[in-house]
């Protein structure tokens, strides 16, 4: 950031402790190495399972979906440093909202595409 016009944050409200500042500066980014390896494993495992069709399609879909969610969490936590912040971690609140909207949109789309139709 530049221009020196940053906002100054004030003291934490009670009940908002989970956004209190927390910052890690390790000498060697061991977390990231593990995270990278785990991402690769999750990706290639999913590919391997689908290519070799090791389970019935519906089970496979569930498993791959779960692995995708796990990888999403991994990316957020390890590479996007989602829990860390020099000031209060305000970004956790909109992030929660983002999840709510995202899940809402996906859920509603599934509902719409079920075609429980009486009219068409």
Q: Which residues bind other proteins (CB under 8 A)?
A: 1-8, 98, 101-102, 104-105, 108-109, 111-120
The two structure tokens encoding residue 1: 């950031």
| CB of 8 vs other proteins, minimal distance in Å | 8
The residues, any chain, with a CB within 8 Å of residue 90's CB and separated by 6 or more, are: 19
Distant-in-sequence, close-in-space partners of 77: CB < 8 Å, separation ≥ 6:
35, 83
Tell me the two tokens of residue 18: 């989970």
For the bound state, the minimum distance from the C-beta of residue 19 to other proteins, rounded and expressed in Å, comes to 15
Nearest to 79 by CA among 22, 15, 34, 14: 34
Q: Toward other proteins, which CB reaches closer, 41 or 65?
A: 65
CB of 73 or CB of 103, closer to other proteins: 103
Minimum CB distance to other proteins, residue 90 (Å): 9
Give 15 or 94: the residue with its C-beta nearer to other proteins: 94
Task: Give min distance, CB of 68 to other proteins, in A.
Answer: 14
17 CB-near residues (< 8 Å, 6+ apart): none
By C-beta, is 53 or 116 nearer to other proteins?
Answer: 116
């Amino acid at each position: 950031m530049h221009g020196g016009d940053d906002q100054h944050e004030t003291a934490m409200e009670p009940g908002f402790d989970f956004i209190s500042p927390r910052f890690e500066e390790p000498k060697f980014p061991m977390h990231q190495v593990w995270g990278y390896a785990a991402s690769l494993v999750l990706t290639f495992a999913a590919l391997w399972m689908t290519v070799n069709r090791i389970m019935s399609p519906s089970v496979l879909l569930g498993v791959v979906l779960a692995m995708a969610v796990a990888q999403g969490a991994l990316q957020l936590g390890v590479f996007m440093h989602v829990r860390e912040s020099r000031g209060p971690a305000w970004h956790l609140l909109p992030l929660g909202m983002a999840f709510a909207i995202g899940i809402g949109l996906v859920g509603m789309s599934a509902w719409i595409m079920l075609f429980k139709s009486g009219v068409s």
